Every structure is written in structure tokens, then in C-alpha cells.
Amino acid sequence: MKFLFPRAVSFIVTALCALHSMTSAQRHIVIPRPVEEKYSTGSFILDRKTEIATISSNQELAPVAEYLGNFLEKGTGFVLPSLANGNPPKSNYILLEQDASLGNEGYELTVQKGSVRLRGGDQAGVFYAVQSLLQIMPPEIFRRDGLNKVAWKIPCATIIDKPRFPWRGMHLDVCRHFFPIEFVKRYIDFLAIYKMNTFHWHLTDDQGWRIEIKRYPKLTEVGGWRNGSMVGPYYNMKFDTIRYGGFFTQAQIREVVAYAASRYITVVPEIEMPGHALAALASYPELSCTGGPFEVGKAWGVFDDVFCPKETTFTFLENVLSEVCELFPGKYIHVGGDECPKVRWKECSSCQDLMKKEGLKDEEQLQSYFVSRIEKFLNTKGKNIIGWDEILQGGLAPNASVMSWRGTEGGIAAAKQHHNVVMTPGDYCYFDHYQGNPKYQPLAIGGYTTVEKVYWYDPVPSQLKPAERKYILGAQGNLWAEYITTPQQMEYMALPRMAALAEVDWSLPKNKNYQEFRGRLIRHFKVLDYVGANYSKALY
């Protein structure tokens, strides 16, 4: 008798703890955190008889159903029966539906004992419902080798969700180091997990031109290769003599664009001008102020030789951009615009004559003239330009959007002029920066940007008036590749900061809590383990 009390207490405590750990573990799972995410008792059991159904009016959902079926097949080993455009069965089904009232990219996910319903405001919304469904399943579903369990438990849940921002981006530099198409697709898969919708592909720079242009084959024959690269930190000024390079054929570019589109991701190509153009000038030196000759860049940094704004250069760039516009169906073309020294323009009679003829008072205005001319051309192709914040200098082109990287000032100035802005300030969004103590990290460019710092970034500057805030389209993470030499290292720099940025772009500020996010992220590390990701554990 005397043992009964403590035993009862201990039983109750144990039971309460179990209940508590179950409910608290299940309170929030999904990254980025949804607007509303609720779990209740019971589960849906997915087995080899579960049917994937789209209702008859939603033929356009077939690709999403196929994506889900393929994903589940790779994780479970089940080839699930698919019921396109029929009526849903009585039970044991996953139903995909479209309902415009949920808004662009919005969705509702309802898991009940007999059914799973994925309702999206558009196709992308249904796709995001799929992503949330995968995340609330046991993390083993992310294995790609068909685990062949008999049944998979999915907790009963209601998730009602939509993104905070329309531009949820990640950038990838394939110029300083080259990353093959298989890695580019894997990178896009990570964007998809985190409901990002924009892949900014940095395709041309001083150290390599990476996109095949049929009309100018030397861009990749010559400009795609360099005769050595920097080794170690910049200040050592050490180089190897290894020929290095690579490029994407137009067929590969189309493949990447289609792969991204099937994940509701738009690819924004970046073709740098007027600066960061050395690889192009090595291929076609007549496009410069001096005539060259030039070598594709081996050092990192900024070079004085840039495109000369003469008619032959504009003809060249228009021809290049015409091919680019054919390859990329998205609205935006990124034209670079950053870090363009003006020394050559100051000494070039053609540049100086042009400035007189056009009444331009300095070389900054000449850069503005350059970008505005390119904008006018791209507008005729139905495209809009976006450029780094230097395109503000000398006057912003009339319809240009601005990517604010040197802090947020450029973004604030552009929003005040009623131009769209993507925020990507170095301190928060440059994932080439260190994410842990540099003593224990691979060599990086510098900086210190932890997961927590990324997590707390708010893309809307307090300096903006309410009416100006709508010009902030969202935030983007940038991965420059000077010091990132392999796909494994790229993954390490991207993850898990990409997950934190996804939360910046998608989730509501009022739901933010770093400790809570950290807990979800640690659970999510199991997902990253199953996909074989090389991610940083610096947050421990």
C-alpha cells in the first residue's frame, strides 16, 4: 500500500509526459511554417491500395498528381493507382483539387482517417500542399530507394496556408566554379521542398560564360574556359594552371527550365552587363573600349575591362538576349549591372562622343543609358529587367526592378520610386558567408551569417511607408562560388540556411520564434539525411 501513491504519481507523470511530448512534437512540423497547422488524434494509413485522384474539372492537376505518385513510389516502393479525372473512391484516397478562392499559391491540406485532400488556389498551391503532406509523413518518405513498409501513418491534420511574398528566391553562381546539370536539378529540388518559386541562375561573369549562344559560338568555346584559378584566400594571390570550365547547352538549359517549371519554379537567367564581362570580351574583344586582347578571368574580383556602349555591342547583346528570351519563358531577365568600373569609358573616344551626343553628364549616366537601352529592347520582347542596386546610379530605367545587395538602401530608394525590389542584403542573404566559427569551417569569402541571423531577417524595411511596402517582392539567398568548388560544398553552404530564408519569405512575422523553428529544423535534419544532403550542423 505504501508504494501505491508514488507508483500512481509516477504512472500519471509518465502518461502526461508521453501525451505532452506527442502533442508538442506534433504542434508544428512543416518548414516554412504555415499560417495554420493543426493536428488531431488518429491517422490516415497510406498503403499500396491508396488511390491518387484528381476530380474531373481539374485536368491541369495531372502533372502534380504524377509528381506525387512518383515521389511516393520512390519512397515507399508502392506504385499507387492513379485515378485521373474520375470521381474519388469512397475511402483510402488522396484527392487533388483546385479552388481559386484559396488565392495564388495558397492551399489547404486536410488529412482524415479515410482521405487526404489537397486543395490549391492554383496548380502551384496544390503542389505546395503536396510538399506539406510529404513533410508531415515519416521522414523516411524522402528515401529514394523504396522502403517497402506495409503502411505509412500520416497524422490527421488541417493546414491552411499561403505565402507572405511572391518572390521566394535562391541564386546560384555557376561561373566562378561550374556545377553540372545534375547538381542544378538537385538544387532546384531543395527549393521545391521549401516552397521557393524563383531560381536566379548567374550564367555569365568574368571567369566564365556558361550559356551556349548559337550565334556567337566563341562565347562558350573561348569564354567558357580559363587557364587557371585562384587557390586559397584572395590575399595570397596564388593560382593554379589547370584549364577549368564548362557550359550548358541550350538543350540542357531547356531541360533545367522544364524541370523547374514542373516544381512551379521560374528560372531567372542573369546575363551580366556592362561589367563582369571579361569572358565575353576574351571571346569577342571588339566589344571592349580598347580592343584587347583579353583572357578569361583567373582572379576573383572586379575587372576594369567592360562592354563598350557602342552600336556593335548593343547589336551583340540584343542578339544574345533574343536567344536568352527564347530559352526562358519567365517575365524577368536579370542584366547584372553591379560593379562596373568606369575607367575605360573615361578614356574611350567612342564612349565620350556618345555621352556628348546623348547629353549625358557623367559615366554613371552612361551606365544608366546602357541599361535603359537594354530595358527598352527587352520590353519589346515582353520581358522586364531586374538588376543589382547599382542600376540606381545615374537614374533607374523606367520599368526596372532592383535587387538590393549592398545593404537595404538601394531597395528602399527603389521602393520609394515605386519600383519592385527583391531584398538580398549581404549580411543576411549571402550564403557564401561563414555560418559558424571560421576556425572549423571550409574557407569562405568572409562574413558571418548564422541560421538564426537569416531566420530573423525581415525584408520589409521600417523606413518604408505602408503604401511603399508592396514594392518589396520578397527576399533571395545568394550563393557566389569563388570559394565554393564542389556540389557538396555548395550544399553545405546552402543548407540549412535556405530553410531559414524560406521561413522569411513564406511565414508570417507574428508566428516567428527561433527556438520553435530550431526544433522543427532538427526534426527536418532527418529528411536531409534521407536525401543524402551535406548540410551544416553549426546551429548545434
Binding-site size for ligand ACM (CB under 6 A) equals 4
Consecutive H or E run containing 525: helix 514-530
Least separation in angstroms between CB 308 and Zn ion: 3
Contact 118, 86 (CB under 8 A): no
Looking at beta carbons only, is 432 or 491 nearer to ligand ACM? 432
* Residues 199, 214 contacting (CB under 8 angstroms): no
Select which of 105, 122, 173, 205 is catalytic: 205
Binding partner of residue 323 among ligand ACM, Zn ion, none, CB cut-off 5 to 8 Å per kind: none
C-alpha cell at 105: 499559391
Cα dihedral 401/404/408/414 (nearest 10): -20
Is residue 338 near ligand ACM by the rule CB under 6 A? yes
Q: What part of residues 387-416 is at the interface with ligand ACM (CB under 6 A)? A: 388, 405
Catalytically annotated residue among 189, 304, 318, 339? 339
* Residue 281, C-beta contacts closer than 8 angstroms, at least 6 positions apart: 287, 288, 292, 294, 305, 306, 307
- CA proximity to 167, closest of 404, 371, 348, 367: 404
- Please indicate whether residue 171 is annotated as part of the active site: no
Residues between 241 and 300 that touch Zn ion (CB under 5 A): 289
Which of ligand ACM, Zn ion, none lies near 190, with the C-beta cut-off 5 to 8 A by kind?
none
Q: How far is the CB of 519 from ligand ACM (least distance, A)?
A: 33
- Residue nearest ligand ACM, Cβ-based: 338
Q: Which is nearer to Zn ion, 350 or 486 (CB)?
A: 350
Three cell numbers at 84? 485521373
390 is catalytic: no
439-448 own/partner pairs: CB under 8 Å, 24+ apart: 441/538, 442/483, 442/489, 442/492, 443/232, 443/233, 443/483, 444/483, 444/493, 445/480, 445/482, 445/483
Nearer to ligand ACM by Cβ, of 165 and 405: the residue is 405
Q: What is the closest distance, in whole angstroms, from the C-beta atom of residue 302 to Zn ion in the complex?
A: 17
Binding site partner of 333, from Zn ion, ligand ACM, none, Cβ cut-off 5-8 A by kind: none
Binding region for Zn ion (CB under 5 A) out of 17-25, 244-252, 269-277, 342-350? 342-350
Residue 366 near Zn ion by CB under 5 A: no
Provide the minimum distance between the beta carbon of 302 and ligand ACM in the complex, in angstroms, as a whole number: 8
Catalytic choice (177, 276, 433, 524): 276
Give strand ranges (E) for 434-477: 472-477
Exactly one of 99, 339, 427, 529 binds ligand ACM (CB under 6 A); which one?
339
- Burial class of 2 by CB neighbour count within 10 A (0 to 12, 13 to 18, 19+): exposed
**Which sign does the torsion angle of CA 440, 444, 449, 454 carry?**
negative
Cβ closest to ligand ACM, residue 339 vs residue 529: 339
Catalytic residue at 140?
no
C-alpha 503/C-alpha 470 separation (Å) is 19
List the single partner that 259 binds among Zn ion, ligand ACM, none, CB under 5 to 8 Å by kind: none
Q: Is 355 in the site for Zn ion (CB under 5 A)?
A: no
**Helices and strands, counts by H and E, the chain:** 17, 21
Residue 159 interacts with which of ligand ACM, Zn ion, none, CB < 5 to 8 Å by class: none
Please give the full DSSP string across 208-259, using - where no structure is assigned. EE-B--TT-THHHHTTTEES--EES-GGG-EE----EE--B-HHHHHHHHHH
- Which of 118, 129, 137, 351 is close enough to bind Zn ion by CB under 5 A? 351
- Which of ligand ACM, Zn ion, none interacts with 338 (beta carbon under 5 to 8 A by kind)? ligand ACM
Question: To the nearest whole angstrom, how small is the minimum distance from the Cβ of residue 403 to ligand ACM?
Answer: 7
Query: Which residues are tagged catalytic?
Result: 205, 276, 339
